[in-house]
Homo-oligomer: A and B are copies of this chain.
Amino acid sequence: MNAVTIKDVAQAAGVSSATASRVLSGHSATSAESREKVEAAAKNLGFVPNAQARSLRSTKTDTIALLISDVRNPYFSDLAHAVEQQALEAGMMTFIGNANEDSEQQDKFLAAMLSRRVDGLIVVPQGLDEDSEHPSEMMQRIVSSGTPLVFVDRTLPQLNIPSISASSATALNEAIGELKALGHQNIAFLGGPAHASTARERHSAFDAALEANGLTTEKSLHFAGDFRAASGADGAHWVLRHQLEPTAVIIADAPMAIGALTVWREAGIRVGADLSVIAFDEVDAMLMHHPPIATISHDLHSMGRAAVTALQSVMADKEPEPQEFISQFTPRASLAQASVTPGA
């Protein structure tokens, strides 16, 4: 139906298509007269430029792609929102893709974006399933295609790609310090999947914080989840059955925390009395919980904006300055004196 092209506009305005193009893209010099005529004609005919044709010739699409690992995780949807807003301000559309924590879907999306010749890519990289030496073949192709690329949240250390990430060291130090002051000795950690660099970072920062606070690190107190609610629930059962009877738990993301807290509620565990809980990611549900849950949070809005800015640097052939955000610890009533151990 929309058969109105720039030629139609040009004809209606009585100029050539070159002039019409110049007016509509506002680049070269044009006379006030033809500018007026072309604009009137375009409006009149309801001209909608064909983005395909435009970017075929001009080799830019004004589109970037954002690949996240799970749209339904509020952490990533917040990030996506921040990226999208910032990109919009810079006049670019954002393709949001969903890897579903699955590197096959990731590759599919990346292939589609490559084929669409997006101007740049912001990726929360999926790790490598087993073969941790080589990032996925598709990721290699992206890199060798020369498409501007930055990583956000997670990174792949094998590749030398600008990354925007967060450091939880300071926050975990504070958190562990607080727990120790409350008398906790056995602190469990419900972590994320090892293929995510954030999960590894949080885990090692946890160990470092224990040591820095003079507590012993205990390998058996680490549970490997997958950042989803179901694994948080599994972790919650695991905590209850653990022979060291941990009195405090730190959980690596919000969905896992919600899963775990649901199990503890059902089991009659009193969080903030029997068990102290700290969760990564500040989401509204943590404040709804009774008692409210202490959190370690990232400034996702800033991270999203920083990722776009870094990408713009790469697109302009500049070296983006590396940036690391510091997470913040917020103590709340979910922290209590270590006293009774949770019954099974």
A: which residues have CB within 8 A of B?
1-2, 46, 48-53, 55-56, 61, 71-72, 74, 77-78, 80-81, 84, 88, 93, 95-96, 98, 105, 108, 111-112, 114-117, 141, 144-147, 229, 255, 258-259, 261-262, 265, 284-285, 287-290, 292
Q: List 5 A-B contacts (CB under 8 A).
A: A1-B145, A52-B52, A72-B74, A88-B108, A262-B288
Contact A56 B46 (CB under 8 A): no
User: So how many copies of this chain end up in the complex?
Assistant: 2
Best-surrounded residue of A52, A93, A265 (most CB of chain B within 10 A): A52
Residue of B nearest to A285 (CB): B285
Q: Chain A interface secondary structure, helix, strand, loop or mixed?
A: helix
Q: Is the CB of A284 within 8 A of B265?
A: no
Q: How far is the CA of A107 from the CA of B23 in the complex (A)?
A: 23
Chain B residues contacting A111 (CB-CB under 8 Å) are: 48
Whether the pair A145, B72 counts as a contact (CB closer than 8 A) is no
Report the separation of the CA atoms of residues A61 and B61 in the bound assembly, to the nearest whole angstrom. 14
Question: In the bound complex, do residue A141 and residue B46 qualify as a contact, i.e. CB atoms below 8 Å apart?
Answer: yes
CA distance A265 to B98 in the complex (A): 35
Say whether B49 contacts A115, CB under 8 Å.
yes
Residues in chain B near residue A144, CB distance under 8 A: 1, 46
User: Chain B's nearest CB lies how many Å from the CB of A304?
Assistant: 12
Q: How far, in angstroms, from A46 to B146 measured CA to CA in the complex? A: 13
Contacts of A88 in B (CB 8 A): 105, 108
Whether A53 touches B51, Cβ cut-off 8 Å, given contacts A2-B145, A95-B95, A98-B81, is no
- A299–B109 alpha-carbon span in the complex (Å): 26
Q: How far is the CA of A96 from the CA of B80 in the complex (A)?
A: 11
Q: In the complex, which of the residues B61, B95, B146 contacts A1, with contact meaning CB atoms closer than 8 Å?
A: B146
Which residues of B lie under 8 Å from residue A71 when comparing CB positions?
Answer: 71, 77, 80-81, 84, 96
Residues of B close to A290: CB separation below 8 A: 265, 289-290
Q: Are B284 and A229 in contact, CB atoms less than 8 angstroms apart? A: yes
Which B residues touch A51, using CB under 8 A? 112, 115-117
A77 to B55, CA, bound (A): 30
Smallest beta-carbon distance A130→chain B, Å: 25
Neighbouring B residues of A265 by C-beta, 8 Å: 288-290, 292
* Interchain CA distance A1-B288 in the complex, whole Å: 51
CB <8 Å contact, A50 and B285: no
Expressed in whole angstroms, the Cα–Cα distance for A229 and B74 within the complex equals 14
Which residues in B have their C-beta under 8 angstroms from that of A61? 52
Q: Measured between C-beta atoms, what is the minimum distance from A55 to chain B in Å?
A: 5
Query: Which residues from chain B contact A56 at a C-beta distance below 8 Å?
Result: 50, 52-53, 56
Q: Which residues of chain B come closer than 8 Å to A80, judged between CB atoms?
A: 71
List of B residues within 8 angstroms of A258 by Cβ: 284-285, 288
Q: Closest B residue to A259 by CB, please name it.
A: B284
Identity of the chain B residue whose Cβ is nearest the Cβ of A61 in the assembled complex: B52
Residue of A74, A84, A116 contacting most chain B CB atoms (<10 Å): A116
Selected contact of A116 from candidates B52, B84, B98, CB within 8 Å: B52
